[in-house]
Amino acid sequence: MAVLEVAGLDAGYGDLQIIDDVDLTVDDGEYVTIVGPNGAGKSTVMKSVFGLTVHMGGSIEFAGEEISGYRPEQIITTGIGYVPQNDNVFPSLSVLENLEMGAYILDDVPQDRLERIFDRFPILEERRSQAAGDLSGGQRQMLAMGRALMLDPDLLLLDEPSAGLAPDLVGEMFDRIDQINADGTGVLLVEQNAKEALRRCDRGYVLVQGQNRYVASGEALLANEQVRQDFLGG
Ligand SMILES: Nc1ncnc2c1ncn2[C@@H]1O[C@H](COP(=O)(O)OP(=O)(O)OP(=O)(O)O)[C@@H](O)[C@H]1O
């Protein structure tokens, strides 16, 4: 069953249209990645799903509900979590406070989820009292994911989580995403690290100049000579 179904999406910023007639689906528990050249509109597609762009046409359904036109505060209540690429933690708040903020729409902080996040990311428990601004880039990214997981989303949107990480941490970040997905959370990932993302995902989209150029399993895209030459560095 498609949890997220984007059809004929046109979107952009102000009067500027960036996304042109894009279709995209993420089935229940599926791991889907969007790759493509710089400036292709990958982040813009993701932001559109989360209500952060100007919607210019098409539909965005999540779990059967039309969510285009919803504000981000409404969208998180439908079961979509979003981890932006930048400014994704509150630097002056502690790690624990950041995680608690993730559950701000609930009356009480769900302690069982907090425990699960600490089990998944032990470094966050170790550093629970430290300011988020003092964390390393990788730890900050884990905190941002943990915060989004506090609402136990059905679909997690991740915008370039490996950006800026030291090469030895990139594999670890991808492993974390695999684990989150293995626990049943659907994942929509935008990545510059296209080969690694395609190796890990169920299905991939290659976006070029705001349009879908290829849609196939990650494996099939990696095996496609044209895709390799044009978008994966050979
Ligand atoms: N807030 C904004 N206002 C106006 N234009 C924007 C804004 N954000 C992005 N753009 C433009 O939209 C286009 C697509 O950007 P987007 O960030 O979606 O691309 P991307 O494929 O994610 O690229 P990258 O991998 O370089 O982040 C670019 O031309 C960019 O300059």
67 close to 61: Cβ distance less than 8 angstroms: yes
Give the CA-trace dihedral at 67, 69, 71, 72, to 10 degrees. 50
Residue 234 DSSP class: -
User: ipTM score of the complex?
Assistant: 0.96
- Domain of 116? 2-231
Q: How many domains does the chain have?
A: 1
Nearest residue (CA) to ligand 1, atom 25: 38
Matching residue, tokens 């879908």: 212
Atom of ligand 1 nearest to the CA of 85: 27
Mutate to test the pocket of ligand 1, among 15, 17, 18, 159 (most ligand atoms within 8 A of CB): 18
pLDDT in tens for each of the 234 residues of the chain? 669 999 999 999 999 999 999 999 999 999 999 999 999 999 999 999 999 999 999 999 999 999 999 999 999 999 999 999 988 999 999 999 999 999 988 888 889 999 999 999 999 999 999 999 999 999 999 999 999 999 999 999 999 999 888 888 899 999 999 999 999 999 999 999 999 999 999 999 999 999 999 999 999 999 999 999 999 987
Beta-carbon contacts of residue 176 (< 8 Å; ≥ 6 apart): 120, 121, 142, 145
1, 19, 52, 86, 156 from 30: Cα distances, Å? 10, 23, 23, 25, 10
**Ligand 1 centroid from CA 70, angstroms:** 21
Residues having CB within 6 Å of any atom of ligand 1: 13, 16, 18, 36, 38-44, 192
pTM: 0.95
Q: What CATH number is associated with residue 38? A: 3.40.50.300
Mutate to test the pocket of ligand 1, among 9, 19, 42, 87 (most ligand atoms within 8 A of CB): 42
**Ligand 1 centroid from CA 127, angstroms:** 34
